[in-house]
Amino acid sequence: MTLQWYVVHAYSNYEHKVKESLLERIKRHGLEDKFGDILVPTEEACTDLKTQIENGAEFVELAKQHSQCPSGASGGDLGEFSPGQMVREFDNVVFSQDVGTVHGPVKTQFGYHLIEILERSE
């Protein structure tokens, strides 16, 4: 075993441990937020879907049927994210509006969104 081999492998192991430690802290302390998204091309379509949700339709089913976002196939589930990972309009809603509510229409460069905030660390 050469010194160079040891340094390369020890350093790689150290990086892995740091990464795992950071990921564990995020999970433990809930430093990410979870939300759902429905993306449609027009404000009218977005408003219509929101009305359907307010009248009892399921967000997940409407996302599967209507969302133009790739997440539509999974019911609009975009998983978890931290501030700055999405466009500003998303951050403005997700980090300031009520949890458990569908928000929108929210206009972005991609179209009009309904955003359902499922979890948020405070």
Q: Give the start-to-end residue ranges of the domains of the chain.
A: 1-30, 32-119
Q: What is the pLDDT of residue 15?
A: 59
Q: Is the pLDDT of residue 55 over 90?
A: yes
pLDDT, tens only, 68-94: 999 999 999 887 777 888 889 988 998
Q: What is the spatial distance between Cα 98 and Cα 1, in angstroms, rounded to a whole number?
A: 58
Beta 77-81 vs 102-108: how paired, if at all?
A: unpaired
| Integer Cα distance of 57 and 15 in angstroms | 47
Provide the percentage of residues in the chain whose pLDDT is more than 70.
71
pLDDT exceeds cutoff 50 at 115: yes
5-25: average pLDDT: 54
Query: What type of residue is 122?
Result: E
Q: Which fold has domain 32-119?
A: Chitinase A; domain 3 (3.10.50)
